[in-house]
Chains A and B, each alone.
Chain A
Amino acid sequence: MSDARNGNLEFQRTYAAKGEPFVWLTAMGLAVGLIMVVALLGIIISNGLPVFWPSRVLEFQLKSDISNSVPQGGDKIVGELVQKRMKRIPVLNAQGIKKADQTELQVFVGNKDTYGLNFAFANQDDIASVTEPKDIYRIERLEYGIAFGYPKSVKLANGQSVPSTNATFSTVLAQLCAESTARRHEIENIEKHEIGQINKQLNELRISQKSDSQSAEKLSALDAQYKTLASKASELRATQSASSLQYITPTGVDRSLAIGELVSYTQPNRLSTWERIVLFARNFLNFLWENPREANTEGGIFPAIFGTFAMTLLMSVAVVPFGVIAAIYLREYAKQGFFLQCVRIAVNNLAGVPSIVFGVFGLGFFVYFVGGSIDQLFFGKYLPTPTFGTGGVFWAALTLALMTVPVVIVSTEEAMAAVPRGIREGSLSCGASKWQTIQRIVLPASLPGILTGLILAMARGAGEVAPLMLVGVVKLAPSLPLDGDFPFAHLERKFMHLGFHIYDLGFQSPDSEAAKPMVFATALLLILLVITLNLAAILTREKLRKKYAGSAF
C-alpha cells in the first residue's frame, strides 16, 4: 500500500510535476500537423515537377507469344514510362485459387490520332527487352498532343522534299518550326485583336441603330477592313499547311503533320543532362506564360494564374476597408453589451457558412440584382446581352470578400484591443478627438494585426472554388481582365482560376489520366501563388512591426 503511494509520489515528482506528458502531447500535435503538410507538399511537388522534366523514351520489346495483343498493334510499345504498379490477380490452378502478384507498366505512348489512347499497359513478365531508341523524336502538336516517331522527310511548299538522311534536314526543320510559330502568333494577333477591334466597332454601330449615310459609310469601311484581314489570315493559314513533316510512328504507321500544327520537337534520348535542365526550365516557363490548348490539357495556364491573382488582389482591396470599418465601429463606438455580443457571434459564424451559399448569394445579389441594375442604368443599349449582369471577376472578388470579411473583422478588433490604453490616453490628453485618436494612433498601431487578417483572408479566398463557379469562373476565358483596350481593366469579364482549373482538368476533361500530371502542376502553382501573396503581406507586416516595435508596452 505504502509502496504504491510512494510510487505514485515518485511519478508525480518525475513526470506529472514537470508536465512532461503534456509537453510530449503538444509536440506530437505539432509533429502530426507538420508531417501532413510536408507529405501533402511532397506529393504535389513530386507529381507536379516531373511533368516538365524531359524523360527518356523507351522501347519495350514484347515476348512473341503475346504480340499483337496491345491495342497499338505490333510487338513493341514505345513511349515514356509513367509508373509501375502491383497488380494482384487471382489465378486458377490445380490447387484452387491462388493469388499471383504482377507488375504492370503504364507507358505514355502518345500518337493519340493513330492509337486512340495515350497510354499502353503491359505486364513486366511479358517484356522481353527494353532499349532506348536513339533517333526517336518527341513532337509536340497543336492537336492530339504528343507524337513519338521517326521523321522521314520534310515536304516543302514548292513540292520539294528534304529526306531526314540529308545533312540540312535538322536546320530546315528548325527554320520551318520557327516560321510556323511566328505565323501562328500573327494569325492569333489578327484574329483576336485586329478583327476583335473591328467586331467591337461593328457591334457599336449595330447597337446605335442609326441608318444615316455616315454610319453606312463607316459600316462598309469596316467591312472592307474586315475582309482584308480575314483574307490575310486565311492566306497565312494556307501557308501553315503548305509544308509538312512526314514521319513514321514506332509501330510503322506513316503520318504527315502540317508544319502549322508543329509546336516543338526534341530528340529526348540524345539530350545531355544540361540540355535536359534547360528544357525543364523552358517547359516550366512555357507552362507559366502560355495559353492553354486542347481543352486545357496542353499548353500553359497563364490566364488562370493571372485570373487568380487579379481576383485575390481585388478581393483584398474590397475586404480590408470593409472589415476595418466594421471593426472600428464594433470596438470603439458601439455600446458593449448583450446585443453587441450577439452581433459578434453572428459575424464569427458567418465564417462557418458553406462557401457555396456565399456563391448563391453572390449570384442572386451581386450578379442579378446589382449587376442587372447597373446594366439597366448604364448599359441599356447592349441588352439583352448582359455586361455586369453576368458573372465576372468583380462580382467574384466581392463574393469572396463577403466570405472572408469575418476574419478581417476579428483580427482587426483584436489588434485594436491590444493597443495600449496609455497611448490612447496620451492622444486624448493632447486634445485629440476620439476619431483623431483612432485614425492617427490606434489604426497605425493595429496595421500588423489587420495584415494578419488579410493574410488569412487571402489564403482562404485564393483557394476557394465552389462559389466562384456561380459568379464568374469559366473553363476558358477568351481574354484577360486586364488588357490594352480601353478602359484597360475589365472587371465585368469572366476569368480563369487555378482552383477551378484543377477541378476542370482532374474531373471534367476527356482524358483525365493524361491530365493528371497537369493537375498536380497546377496545384503546385496555386500553392506557389498563395505563398507569394502571403509572403508579400508577411514582409509588409514585419516592416510595420519593426516600425511600431515597443508600442506594446
Chain B
Amino acid sequence: MPAVLSEPVRSHFPTTVNTSTAGRPDFISIQNFSFFYGAKQALFDISLDIPERQVTAFIGPSGCGKSTLLRNLNRMNELIDGISHSGDIIIHDHSIYDPLIEVISLRKRVGMVFQKSNPFPKSIYENVVYPLRVAGQNAKNVLDETVERSLKGAALWDEAKDRLHESALSLSGGQMQRLCIARAIANRPEILLMDEPCSALDPIATVKVEELIQELKSEFTIVIVTHNMQQATRCSDKTAFFYLGKLIEFDVTSKIFSNPAQKQTEDYITGRFG
C-alpha cells in the first residue's frame, strides 16, 4: 500500500504567534537524535538547541551528517526508503514526529533552499506563488502582494519586476537561487533551512545571498549548512561543528572560530583536515 493512502487524518502543525521580540533560545530543540539509512547510522545522539530569529550554521567535512540533520528538520529525508530515527526534534514545543501532525503543514512552516537552485519550469511569478497555490490560495491581489513582498525580501524585485511572466529558467544562476529563496519565504514560514545555498554561485552572487541572509534574520529562524568557513563567520550567530555523524561542538560563532574548545574543531577550521 502506498503511504499516502494509509495515512490517518491528521491535524495541522500548530502555528505560533510571535509576541516577544526576543527569540526563544530553544526554538528548535533537537533531543538525542540518531538517524539511520537502513543499517547505516548517519547521526549519533545529537542534542542541540537552535535559537529563534538567529542564523545557525552547520559546518563539518563532507559526509559528516550536517545535511542529513538539516533535511530532518522538515522531514525531507522521508522520501528515501528504509530510514529510521530515534530521539526527537521539537519545534516550538511540538514534536515534528507527532503522529497527529501532517508533514505538509510542517513543511509550510519550515521553508527550504537547496544546494542546487531548483526553480520550477514555470514563470517567475508562478514560482513565487507556488506555495500559496498548493495551499489553495488563488486570490489575485494576495498573490500579487506576495510576489512583490517575497521578491523584495529576496532582493530580486528590481531585476525581475518587468519580467515576472517570463520563464524562471531564463534567469542567471544567482538570480535563480534568490528566486528559490523568494519561493521559500513566500508563504511566511518561521524557519528557513539552507543547504549550501551558495556552493554553485559566483562570488558576487554569494555576497548578495549572504547579505540577504542577514536581512532575513529579523524575520526567520535560519539554519544554514555550509562548507565555506568564511561564510559561516560572516553570516551566522551560532555554529555547530559535526564530524562523522557526531556533534563535536556547538557555540557562539565567534568562539568556535577564535577559541574552540575541542581539538577536532580547531583542526578543521584551521584546515588541518577535512
A435 to B4 Cα, complex, angstroms = 9
Size of A's binding interface in residues, CB under 8 A? 29
Q: Which of B4, B76, B169 contacts A429 (CB 8 A)?
A: B76
Q: Which of B1, B105, B118, B169 contacts A422 (CB 8 A)?
A: B118
A198 to B130 Cα, complex, angstroms = 59
A551 to B130 Cα, complex, angstroms = 17
CB <8 Å contact, A430 and B4? no
Judged by a CB distance under 8 angstroms, whether A420 is at the interface is yes
Judged by a CB distance under 8 angstroms, whether A441 is at the interface is yes
CB <8 Å contact, B131 and A430? yes
A422 to B133 Cα, complex, angstroms = 19
Judged by a CB distance under 8 angstroms, whether B134 is at the interface is yes
Judged by a CB distance under 8 angstroms, whether B156 is at the interface is no
CB <8 Å contact, B121 and A550? yes
CB <8 Å contact, B121 and A422? no
Q: Which of A430, A432, A551 contacts B121 (CB 8 A)?
A: A551
Judged by a CB distance under 8 angstroms, whether A510 is at the interface is no
Judged by a CB distance under 8 angstroms, whether A436 is at the interface is yes
Q: Which of B79, B116, B169 contacts A428 (CB 8 A)?
A: B79
CB <8 Å contact, B114 and A431? no
CB <8 Å contact, A430 and B187? yes
Interfacial residues of chain A within 117-160, with CB under 8 A of chain B in the complex: none
CB <8 Å contact, B118 and A420? yes
Interface string of B178-220 (1 = CB under 8 A from A): 0010011011000000000000000000000000000000000
A426 to B113 Cα, complex, angstroms = 8
CB <8 Å contact, A431 and B118? no
Q: Which residues of A contact B112 (CB under 8 A)?
A: 425, 429
Judged by a CB distance under 8 angstroms, whether B107 is at the interface is yes
CB <8 Å contact, A553 and B74? no
Q: Which of B2, B116, B187 contacts A431 (CB 8 A)?
A: B187
Judged by a CB distance under 8 angstroms, whether A440 is at the interface is yes
Q: Which residues of A contact B116 (CB under 8 A)?
A: 422, 553
* A444-B121, A547-B121 known; A431-B134 Cβ under 8 A: yes
Interfacial residues of chain B within 102-134, with CB under 8 A of chain A in the complex: 104-105, 107-108, 110-112, 114, 116, 118-121, 130-131, 133-134
In angstroms, how far is the closest chain A Cβ from the Cβ of B137?
Answer: 11
Interface residues of B (CB under 8 A from A): 1-2, 4-5, 74, 76, 79, 104-105, 107-108, 110-112, 114, 116, 118-121, 130-131, 133-135, 167, 169, 180, 183-184, 186-187
Interface residues of A (CB under 8 A from B): 333-335, 420, 422-436, 440-441, 444-445, 547-551, 553
A-B contacts, 24 listed (Cβ < 8 Å): A334-B2, A335-B1, A335-B2, A422-B116, A423-B119, A423-B120, A428-B76, A429-B76, A429-B107, A429-B110, A430-B111, A430-B183, A430-B186, A430-B187, A431-B107, A431-B134, A432-B130, A432-B131, A433-B104, A434-B4, A435-B4, A547-B121, A549-B169, A553-B116
